[in-house]
């Protein structure tokens, strides 16, 4: 707008100057000003103003269009094209801008493709690591993938954003990564663990968090890895956190972990059916499990048809 006003003033002065000069000469020649001269001067001034406004607009409108296009690019809307058809330097600027915008769109698409491929590679790597942990204990084979899938569904039920769902997937897969240092004999032991053995097992959340703590893309999953054995009532481990002091991702992974533990064969118990497992999990609501997360878990299980099927069978 400031450029438009400046151009208007410059063009107006340039176009009005001859009229003013002519008027001065007429006044000097005739010794005064009559009505026709005044009318001609006003008409000339009006024409000069109109032509000046048109000229200024023709120059500033393409500039304004380029500015709007630049703002769209700044907002990340790559590929935006400006509609400027002037056959002058401003038209050349618009053509160059449009070419740049298309190139940025192409680079952005390629970056998204590479990032997606990189994330898939990361995911496959951590799945391989989880499989190595599962191989130590045949009773938990597939446990990590099941916990990850269920945790993501619970997160969706709670309306969490995509970033949190990714953290839940990574945390679900790696929540037991700290067990990699626990002897197989302890993991597969069918009799009660000694106090020393229990202390060793209870150290796996802390160890797991330390293992992945230096990996930048897993940073959001670390709280769940460390705190998935914390309890809503504060009686968990390793930090005895309680209530909402426990990270939400950890509360969600905990609920998914409990459900899978109830419905899988373990050295110390046979798998429970959905109805019996739901009953056991229900007793943990408000003590071990966050009530809202427990309710979201049940909603997911109902959507899967597990609880309805169990109810029908009963």
Alpha-helical (H) ranges within the chain are: 2-30, 35-74, 89-136, 143-157, 162-174, 184-187, 195-202, 204-212, 222-227, 248-262, 274-283, 291-304, 306-313
Contact 226, 208 (CB under 8 A): yes
DSSP string, 118-161: HHHHHHHHHHHHHHHHHHH-GGGTTHHHHHHHHHHHHHHHTT--
Cα 171 to Cα 250: distance, rounded to the nearest angstrom: 8
Cα 250 to Cα 155: distance, rounded to the nearest angstrom: 11
Phi, psi of 191 (to 5 degrees): -100, 165
Contact partners, residue 107, CB within 8 Å, separation at least 6? 78
Catalytic residue among 136, 179, 189, 190, which? 179
Specify whether 179 is catalytic: yes
The contacts found for 204-207 with CB under 8 angstroms, 24 or more apart, are: 204/176, 204/178, 204/179, 205/175, 205/178, 205/229, 205/237, 205/238, 206/178, 206/238, 207/178, 207/181
Catalytic site residues? 179
């Amino acid at each position: 707008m400031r450029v438009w006003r400046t151009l208007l003033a410059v063009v107006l002065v340039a176009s009005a100057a001859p009229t003013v000069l002519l008027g001065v000469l007429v006044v000097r020649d005739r010794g005064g000003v009559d009505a026709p001269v005044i009318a001609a001067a006003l008409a000339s001034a009006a024409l000069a103003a109109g032509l000046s406004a048109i000229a200024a607009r023709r120059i500033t409108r393409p500039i304004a269009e380029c500015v709007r296009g630049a703002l769209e690019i700044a907002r990340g809307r790559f590929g935006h094209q400006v509609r400027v058809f002037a056959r002058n330097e401003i038209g050349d600027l618009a053509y160059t801008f449009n070419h740049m915008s298309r190139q940025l769109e192409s680079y952005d698409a390629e970056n998204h493709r590479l990032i997606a491929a990189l994330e898939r590679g990361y995911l496959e790597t951590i799945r391989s690591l989880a499989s190595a942990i599962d191989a130590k204990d045949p009773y938990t084979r597939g446990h990590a993938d099941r916990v990850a899938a269920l945790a993501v569904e619970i997160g969706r039920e709670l309306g969490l954003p995509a970033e949190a769902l990714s953290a839940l997937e990574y945390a679900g897969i790696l929540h037991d990564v700290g067990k990699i240092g626990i002897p197989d004999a302890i993991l597969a032991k069918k009799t009660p663990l000694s106090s020393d053995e229990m202390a060793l097992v209870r150290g796996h959340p802390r160890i797991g968090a330390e293992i992945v703590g230096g990996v930048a893309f897993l940073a959001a999953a670390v709280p769940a890895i460390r705190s998935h054995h914390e309890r809503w009532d504060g009686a968990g481990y390793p930090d005895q956190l309680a209530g909402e002091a426990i990270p939400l991702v950890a509360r969600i992974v905990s609920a998914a972990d409990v459900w899978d533990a109830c419905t899988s064969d373990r050295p110390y118990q046979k798998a429970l059916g959905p109805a019996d497992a739901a009953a056991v999990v229900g007793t943990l609501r408000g003590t071990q499990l966050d009530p809202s997360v427990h309710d979201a878990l049940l909603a997911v299980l109902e959507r899967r048809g597990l609880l309805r099927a169990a109810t029908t069978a009963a």
